[in-house]
Structure 1
């Protein structure tokens, strides 16, 4: 059985993720990553800055809103991603459909609890139909603007109580639009605010996308997602894929079989196999050795797709650093990379200048390379400060402003 050690895994990461040599454009870079995290709007632009030399904000926005080669979609783990357009049917039929079922049940439950209708399922169906009818002109609108056209969106309901951190009063319109987005019936159009802020407009999918292919069958959709994940992140363990996909072991095992995935062994530091090493998976045409690359430096944003690509991260992250660089829910803050390993994070001061926060002495070569990245990122941001709700403990402790 082929063995892929941690050194080769880091070389694969460097080459395929565009962190050592870059990709030519934003669509190629996104395809190379399978998807980009988009929970925070700035993550998309900063993840592409790290992978596409010379990229501009306008380049990213053009791919999203003019060419529409990239589309934002709620999918795996109820997370918002940027997908290459041709991946949408696979996601709609699998991971997004799984989320949509959950969202529909939760929305109906909230409608019933709020006393909005005796038949909550019928209310959800009627509200959805009214929204889609109001969007028939193809004009991108925010949820607030849609509330003026669809009275049903103007309600609110409470979740939890004052003693619950996650509780509060929520607008029902946001829940309806989230459901329609998960179902693939609407998509996020142009952003209504600054590129670093998440202020989406909504457009019907059939009006935003020239040719809309319906959702694929579930098995086919999951196989496509797993196949693309393996091309980007392989080798990976079953646990990695289950976590990333937000699905069950049964779904993942079936998808691995459908794509003809090949079993490989991994170094003892990864996988559930303990001292004897773990088992990973690669695509059948991806078993040839991948050579090393020259040392490289990178600064990645919160929730970057590389950092969030695996559940088992020991081949690029010292477990002792995890509590400092991830929040308690497992969300990654900013990260600083040297030669395939995370060595710290980065923050901005009041003037939006990027500063390195390294956990240890990484040596003169690494420090100089990372400082060059920090200087380039400061220049690219040009005074724009990036806020985040996913600041890691290290980022919070190092804030300079």
Structure 2
């Protein structure tokens, strides 16, 4: 008999497994929290710090930075969707194996700009050799890549931010996903890169047995964190081809590694045997920053962003562009914080509902917690958020 799952049940389990129902206890390793999220988006490091901090009691941005730069239990690199993430260092071989097994789509660049597959693999190998045991700025790394491949890699042909970047930079994300590159500590205001410890770079996106095994494990972890889900949701989360994801889920179903359930009247999948769900919805208020893992991965979007929230808190249907207010597991507003020295003003705009007195108290507590994470004193202002996405 097919298990039936409601949105409230799925939402409650996801929030529980994300430490958004109840924060992880004091002393829980930061890397364990990031692992449960399947990575913290870190294009803006302060957003990643808030993502982790609201999920772990007592954790501040200093604790996240200590885990990243001192303890090295976290690594900052290119993760899902080719975007910058914090990932647990101990899980990096799994991530590199899985991400390198995902087929690459067509290049977005014109023929005279793009690199061939053979050139891409040469660039990745040159990056890994150049960064072994050192930290280099992008300019220094570029010199090493050109020396290790040829002048063609340094041709200024790649449009970027009203400038032209050298050809080799279009595969930097592949170098990160293959284990040849990660971020190092800043040198002054300059970003540096290094080669992560304990990972042998995967030369290219392949179909080797190790890579396929890592990919299957990543699917299982994704379903445990964000299931029930469909192949289409999984493909969107990874920015991978939908047809490939459908075929992959079919293989896993035939192998008995995933199990079909009825989710809000439609077929979806969970990891095999993982069919237990809590009853009822999660109560409470939460503040999630830009590109929080939960807001991006939890599907369907129409249920997570109901009614007016879909128009207000998404940008063209894409999640993550605005920090969001969660009320009882669904998006009910957006927010923005402005830092001035040791003080932060957090403006919260509700959408489509009025908060109860209890929820207003909880919102105040959440604002206070965001301030603690950022090591600032936070003040709540309820009103319109006038800044646009990515502000």
TM bracket, shorter-chain basis? 0.7 to 0.9
Check whether the contact 2:12–2:282 (CA below 8 A) recurs between aligned residues. no
Residue 156 of structure 2 corresponds to 156
CA distance in 2 between partners of 1:398 and 1:128 (Å): 36
Equivalent residues of 2:99, 2:178 under 8 A apart: no
> Measured at CA, do residues 62 and 4 of structure 1 come closer, stay the same or move farther in structure 2, by a change above 3 Å?
same
Q: Could you tell me how far 1:45 is from its partner in structure 2?
A: 0.9
2:349 equivalent to 1:357: yes
| Structure 2 Cα separation of the partners of residues 67 and 259 of structure 1 | 38
Is residue 139 of structure 1 aligned with residue 134 of structure 2?
Answer: yes
Matched, 1:47 2:51: yes
> Which consecutive unaligned segments of at least 5 residues does structure 1 have?
114-119, 161-165, 268-276, 386-393
Give the superposition deviation at 1:20: 1.9
Tell me: CA distance 1:146–1:202, structure 2 relative to 1, closer, same or farther (3 Å).
Answer: same
Q: Is the 8 A contact 1:72 1:188 kept in 2?
A: yes
Q: Is the 8 A contact 1:108 1:124 kept in 2?
A: no
> TM-score, normalised to structure 2's length?
0.79
Instruction: Determine the C-alpha separation between the residues in 2 that align with 1:350 and 1:231.
Output: 36
Find the aligned partners of 1:121 and 1:59 in 2 and give their Cα distance. 40
Deviation at 1:303, TM superposition (A): 0.8
Going from structure 1 to structure 2, the CA distance change for 1:259 and 1:346 (only over 3 Å counts) comes to farther
Q: Deviations over 1:58-81 (max 9, x none)?
A: 321232233333223434332333
* 2:381 corresponding residue in structure 1: none
Partner residue of 1:340? 329
SS in 1 for 2:76: strand
User: Residues 19 and 296 of structure 1 are in contact (CA less than 8 Å); yes or no, is this contact kept in structure 2?
Assistant: no
The aligned residue for residue 60 of structure 1 is 64
Q: Is 1:14 matched up with 2:34? A: no
Find the aligned partners of 1:398 and 1:299 in 2 and give their Cα distance: 18
Answer yes or no: is the 8 Å Cα contact 1:347–1:398 preserved in 2. no
Separation in structure 2 between the aligned mates of residue 289 and residue 112 of structure 1, nearest angstrom = 47
What is the CA distance between 1:55 and its match in structure 2? 0.8
Distance 2:363 2:181 in 1: 41
| Residues 273-284 of structure 1 aligned to structure 2 (within 5 Å) | 277-284=265-272
Q: 1:67 to 1:252 in 2, by over 3 A?
A: farther
Task: Give secondary structure in 1 for the equivalent of 2:185.
Answer: strand
Cα displacement string for residues 262-281 of structure 1 (whole angstroms, at most 9, x for unaligned residues): 211122xxxxxxxxx21222
| CA distances 1:323-371 after superposition (whole Å, capped 9, x unpaired) | 2111226132101112212111111246331121111312221122112
CA distance in 1, matches of 2:127, 2:269: 43
SS at 1:303's partner residue? coil
C-alpha contact 2:156 2:165 (8 A) present in aligned 1: yes
What is the CA–CA distance in structure 2 between the aligned matches of 1:353 and 1:123, rounded to whole Å? Answer: 49
CA distance in 1, matches of 2:388, 2:235: 34
CA distance 1:368–1:329, shift in 2 (3 Å) = same
Residues 123 and 168 of structure 2 are in contact (CA less than 8 Å); yes or no, is this contact kept in structure 1?
no
Cα separation, 2, equivalents of 1:289 and 1:125: 44
- Distance in 2 (alpha carbons) for counterparts of 1:71 and 1:45: 13
Q: Equivalents in 2 of 1:238, 1:107: separation in Å?
A: 27
Aligned to 1:72: 76
Distance (whole Å) between structure 1 residues aligned to residue 108 and residue 31 of structure 2 = 34
User: Which residue number corresponds to residue 234 of structure 2?
Assistant: 241
TM-score (norm 1): 0.77
Match of 2:194 among 191, 198, 203: 203
Greater strand percent: which structure? 2
**Offset at residue 18 of structure 1 (A):** 0.4
Matched, 1:322 2:315: no
**Cα contact 2:34–2:40 (8 A) shared by 1:** yes
Distance across 1 between alignment mates of 2:119 and 2:113: 8
Over 3 Å counting, the alpha-carbon distance change for 1:319 and 1:95 in structure 2 is farther
